Chains A and B, each alone.
Chain A
Amino acid sequence: MENKEKTSVLETENRNISTDLFVLTDSQSGEMEKIATKSLNFWQDAWRRLRQNKMAMLGMWLIIILIIIAVLAPSSLMAFKNSDGSPFRYDAAPELLDEDGNEINKADIAFLPPRIPYVEKLGIFNGVVTLERGSWDIFIGDLPKTDEFKDLKKPQNRKKLVETLGIAYHPFEVNVRAITKKDGEKYVTLWVLKDKKEVELPLKEMISQYSRYQPDTFELVKSVVDDKGVEMLTIHANEYAIKNVNNLYFWFGTDRLALDIWTRLWVGVRISLLIALVSMVIDFLLGIIYGTVAGFYGGTAVDNVMMRFVEIWGSIPALVLMIIMISIEKKISIFLTGLFPKLDYQGIRFIILIFTMSLSGWIGVARIVRAQILKLRDQEFILASRTLGASKARLMAKHLFPNIIGQLTVMATFSVPGAIFYEAFLTFIGLGLPIPMSSLGVLVHEGYKAIQSRPTMLLIPAFVMSILMLSINLLANGLRDALDPRMR
């Protein structure tokens, strides 16, 4: 204690403490008993900690945004409108008029790439697709299937074909060097093979009336001639221009049945979430009831039998159960129609889907609920409660349940992205919702089928699905950390 050796006289640095401070005050111990900080209950504390988790908050906001869009975008408030003012439907093609006021054919708006006004100026979402086509397709196109043209297609009738179509050269006679724009008009530079010289002429003189690729509808990227002399042209084609619907904008494009993907996507998000939530609720209800009963009769024969059943049921891989469901789908449909005569095909498939999804999930929940109940059953406060005369039901409600609910909430949140994925997976192997219903699974499935020709049909729903699953996972992660009492 070298540095603090003091005698009864004060000699600290600059302190001049007046003697009248050496007077006893009233005890303030009462103040101490007042709790210094605000007292938070369990949920408030968890919420506060959740708020601090940036990733979880990001996830939460993303989910909220996606849900808001999903609710509003297809609704009459914000949806794109048909010509009669009704909002686009997810299961019917849009009915629109062209610039001259005529009804547009469904075929003309089918399978269009995404196009968003203003964004298109950036070169993306501009309704343009990159294609590789032979020069025949570009310049001549699909000739009518009459005998006359069958004849004209023959190699010896090249000159006649050129004349009939009114084009300058036969595509097999030239190679394309470049396409340029001069004074607002497009010119093509050709290499004439026979003459071995270059010519330049207006593009419209090279394109027949039967080609879908009229001059204003595409840009040349490159031309590749293989060793057999076959020329393949890579072009950026504006599908909207080609189909003559240049006044239309389908933000996410349309599918093969001319259904608007934007609308279908957001309806799909709704339905996927609905399916996920419903199957989760079923799983949890089943699991909680089962687990609670087993837990309460823990250790007895009832519990034993129940757990054996769960083990055996759990030993059957979900895959196997799924396969069986697929196999007997028809029989189930008949059974369901018998039960609920008013159900249509879509409704039946919906029920089958949810049923299949709920087959295995409840097991995990049941196990955890049972384990918690067994653990809590023997804890002292239960004993205390029972000593005071609480009935079994009261025990369950007031003591057991609040303790479990944290864990269950986390489990539930985590199960949602799994359910979304599972639905997509089931759709992929044929157990999902039928067309024209829409769900993320359906959209991804459809998109996959068109992956070569229209990759955006897969990428856009896959992206949205990934973001949705990602945000829920982030939120679930945050919830788990926030509700874990050890982290306090």
Chain B
Amino acid sequence: MLRYVIERVLLIVVTMFVVITLNFFLLQLIDGSPFDNGKITPVQVEMMKRKYGLDAPPMEQYLRYLKGVVQGDFGTSFKLQNKEVKDLIADKLPNTVKIGSMALIFGVIVGILLGALAAIYRNSFWDHFVTVLAVVGVSIPSFVMAAFLQYYFVVKLGWFPFLFQEPDVDKGITVWMSVHSMLLPAFSLSFYVISATMRYMRSELVEVLNSDYILLARAKGLNKSQVIMRHALRNALIPVITIIGPMAISLLTGSLVIEQFFGVPGLSKLLLNAVYQNDYFLILGVNSFYSFLYVVIVLIVDLLYGVIDPRIRLKGGN
């Protein structure tokens, strides 16, 4: 087990290395510089470049960057008042994480519940309804869902604020109000999670319910709810965990749209702005961070799977 973890961590390091390198050299291809704003002359651009060391040959810049990374310095942003990249990320990250995790937790719980119900009452009206709902939830693009929700619940019913609000004592925005403003974006994000989890849970549980050991459980004299609670659910949930990882990742991407719609000051906005303004280090920093998040989450989920499924845990490996 330990060896496996070490292997995976090594892989992460290698991956990050590749990602950063790839990012760096590809970004070198960007036309234009961070300093273009229409008013600046080419000469001044050259001067700025020299000031920030952007005129050095690519390899030199690359090595300098790597050195910085190893020491925890991811460079500074050109456009945003020379704030350090890592500070900017740390600042915006909580918002993205708050909404993302709300969506994930809510979505997974609801998805598991609905999927389990659909499997248990298989082929009943409820099952068909839930299945159609799942397919619909996956088919309707998240931004359509978000737009629709905004239109209905904000404009028409006025139950929620249009935009996300951070807690701010001066402006009188309490934590509770902030959480309230998070609900609609989190809900929009969660649709996909609910649908995907529900479908998977249903199919896994149906397969489990058809298995021999469930028949044996019934033959022991357990009633339906005992069979489900004690044997079926646990076995069905284990594979469902494996999709949580990839879903968490797609929440990252999905949040791009949601953050735009609901005005959440999160990572994706930071990134997009950086892209359109050629803010090298910021792009590099956020991109690398995303990749890092991704591999870490996948690792955590894999480990979790290994811990929960005794067949894997006790054979020591995947």
Contacts and interface: CB of A to CB of B under 8 A. Distances in A.
State yes or no: do A and B touch (Cβ within 8 Å): yes
Interface of A: 55, 311-312, 315-320, 323-324, 326-328, 330-331, 417, 421, 424-425, 428-430, 444, 448, 451, 455, 458, 462, 465-466, 469-470, 473-474, 477
Contacts of B249: 317
Contacts of A428: 143, 257, 260
Interface string B2-18: 00000000011011001
A327 B27 contact: yes
Given A323-B283, A324-B23, A324-B27, A317 B253 contact: yes
B29 A328 contact: yes
B275 to A, nearest CB: 5
- Among A319, A430, A458, A474, residue most surrounded by chain B Cβ atoms (within 10 Å): A319
Given A315-B12, A323-B271, A324-B27, 8 more contacts: A317-B252, A317-B291, A324-B26, A326-B275, A328-B30, A424-B143, A425-B141, A469-B141
Interface string B22-36: 110011011100000
Contacts of B276: 430
B147 interface: yes
Contacts, number: 115
Contact of A448 (B22, B29, B143): B143
B299 to A, nearest CB: 10
A320 B139 contact: no
Chain B contact patch, size range: 35 or more
A465 B141 contact: yes
Contacts of B26: 324, 327-328
A474 B135 CA distance: 7
B294 A317 contact: yes
B229 interface: no
Give me the 8 closest cross-chain CB pairs, A-B, nearest first. A469-B139, A470-B139, A462-B144, A331-B29, A330-B31, A315-B15, A328-B29, A319-B253
Contacts of B271: 323
Contacts of A421: 141
Contacts of B260: 428
B107 to A, nearest CB: 17
B141 A473 contact: no
Interface in B26-52: 26-27, 29-31
Contacts of B153: none
Q: What is the interface of chain A mostly: helix, strand, loop, or mixed?
A: helix
B140 A469 contact: yes
Nearest to A421: B141
B272 interface: yes
A455 B148 CA distance: 10
B175 interface: no
Nearest to B18: A312
A319 B135 contact: no
Contacts of B138: 417, 469, 473
Contacts of B29: 327-328, 331
- Among B11, B12, B143, residue most surrounded by chain A Cβ atoms (within 10 Å): B143
A466 B139 contact: yes
Nearest to B23: A324
A473 B135 contact: yes
Contacts of B252: 317, 319
B287 A444 contact: no
Contact of B30 (A331, A424, A465): A331
Contacts of A324: 22-23, 26-27, 287
Contacts of A462: 140-141, 144, 147
Contact of A466 (B132, B141, B275): B141
Nearest to A311: B11
B157 to A, nearest CB: 16
Contacts of B143: 424-425, 428, 444, 448
B295 interface: yes
B22 A429 contact: no
Contacts of B30: 327-328, 330-331
Contact of A320 (B147, B272, B287): B287
